Amino acid sequence: MISCPKCSEVGSIMKAGYVRNKQRYVCKDCNYFFTLSNPDQIAPIKNSRRHQTTIIDIARSTGVSNSTVSRALHGHADISPETRNAVLEMAAQLDYQPNQLAYNLVKSRTNTIGMIVPEFTNSFFPNIIIGAHELLTEAGYNLTIMQSNESYPIEVSNTKAMLANRIDGLLISLTQETNNYDHLKVFEKRGIPLVLFNRVCDYVSAPKVVVNDFEGSFLAVEHLILNGYERIAHLGGPLNLLVSRERLRGYRAAMEKYGKNIEENMVIQGMFSQQKARIYGKYLLDLESRPDAIFAVNDSSAIEIVLMALEKGIRIPDELGVVGFSDNPESAYIGPGLTTIRQPTHAIGKTSAQWVLQLIESEEEMILPNEKVLKTELIVRGSSKRNRS
C-alpha cells in the first residue's frame, strides 16, 4: 500500500494521472501530489528490443507534455514558436519516427486503400494498379495490394486481412472462381467503401468500373465480318464472370446483325489459362470444317491460337482471322500482329480509385450503387486484315 510522503496517510491515496510517464498520486487528506521515486518504477524502458523513440521521449527531454509535443509535431496553432522549435529539434535529434499504427488506432482510419487482383502475370492488372496508385498517392493515401491468384479461398482470406487491417476502402477484381459474395457483403454491412472493377458481379450493391465489353466484342466481330470472314468461332471465358458473358453477348449480337449463322459447336466457354487455351484452340483448328476466324476472349488465348496456326501452317490472315481482347504488350509482335480490343487499363485504375475516395470523403450521403463503363478501342493489325472491299 502506498503511503503519503507528507502525512503518511495510507487510505486516502488516489491515482492522479501521469507525469513524465510515471504514475502520479494525490493524498486526499493533505492534498499533496507526488510520484514514487522507486528507481525500478521510473521509465520502464523494458522490452529491450531497440526502444523506438516516442512522443514521450521527446516530451521528457524537452520538458514539456506529450500533448504539446503532439501539437508541435502536427503544426497545430496555439503553440509558442520556441516550444515548437525545441520539440522539432529534439525530434530530429532523437531520430523520431511517428508510429502510424498508434495514430491509426486512435483515429480509426488508416489512410490506406486495399486492392485485390486475381493475378499479376499479364500486364493488365499491373497497369490498372499503376493508374490507381498514381491517383491515390497524390491524394495522400497508401495502397496495399494483395493477389488472390485466381483462388476463391485466397480471395476470402485477403478480404479478411484487409478488414482486420482497417483499410479505408477496397478495390477488388474477382477471381474466375468466385460465386459466393458474402465476403463482400461484409464491407457493405460495415460501411467500408468498396469498388469492384473489371471482374465484377451483379450480386453485390457496390459501384462497378468496367469497360464496354459488349461493344468491344461487337466491334471485334463486326471487324472480322467486314473483312470477309464468315464462319467465326468464339473462344470464351468462364460464364460466371460478367466480362465473359458480355463478350459472348457482343459476339452473338454482331453475328446476328450481319445475318451470320452461329455454329454452336464453335462457341466454347472455359477457364482462363494458357493450357486450356491450347486445348480449346486445338479443338477448333482440328474441326473437320474449320472456322475461318476466331474471336478469343483475351489476347493470351488468341496468341496461343496464332502460334498453333503458324505451327500447323495455317496462313494468317488469309486462311484464318484472329482477334483477341486486351492488347497485351506482346500482341503487336505476334505473327503478323494480333488485332485486338484495347482496354483503358490506366483509366480503370484511376476511375476506381477516384470513386473509392469519393465514397470515403462523402461520409453521410448514401451514394447509389452505380456503374462506370469505359470505352474500348479496336486495334487493327495483321491477323485480321483481309479487306477485300
As measured in angstroms, the least distance from the Cβ of 102 to a second copy is 6
Q: Binding to DNA by residue 71, rule CB under 7 A?
A: yes
Site residues for DNA, 17-36, by CB under 7 A, read 17-19, 23-24
The binding track of 33-62 with respect to DNA, each residue x by CB under 7 A or -, is -----------x-xx---xx-xxx------
Choose the one of DNA, a second copy, none that binds residue 366, judging by a C-beta under 5 to 8 angstroms depending on kind: none
Contact predicate 94/69, CB 8 Å: no
As measured in angstroms, the least distance from the Cβ of 193 to a second copy is 12
Would you say 108 or 389 has its CB closer to DNA? Answer: 108
As measured in angstroms, the least distance from the Cβ of 25 to DNA is 10
Q: How far apart are CA 157 and CA 179, in angstroms?
A: 15
Which residues of the shown chain bind a second copy in the complex (CB under 8 A)?
11-15, 28-29, 47, 49-50, 52, 95, 97-102, 104-105, 108, 110, 120-121, 123, 126-127, 129-130, 133, 137, 142-147, 154, 160-161, 163-166, 186, 189-191, 328-330, 332-335
Per CB under 7 A, the segment of 13-21, 144-152, 215-223, 318-326 that binds DNA is: 13-21
Choose the one of a second copy, DNA, none that binds residue 257, judging by a C-beta under 5 to 8 angstroms depending on kind: none
Would you say 138 or 288 has its CB closer to a second copy? Answer: 138
Site residues for DNA, 89-118, by CB under 7 A, read 96-99, 101-103, 105-108
Instruction: Out of 35, 61, 83, 144, point to the residue binding DNA (CB under 7 A).
Output: 83
Q: Binding to DNA by residue 85, rule CB under 7 A?
A: no
Query: Which residues contact DNA (rule: CB under 7 A)?
Result: 16-19, 23-24, 44, 46-47, 51-52, 54-56, 63-68, 70-71, 73-74, 77-80, 82-84, 96-99, 101-103, 105-108
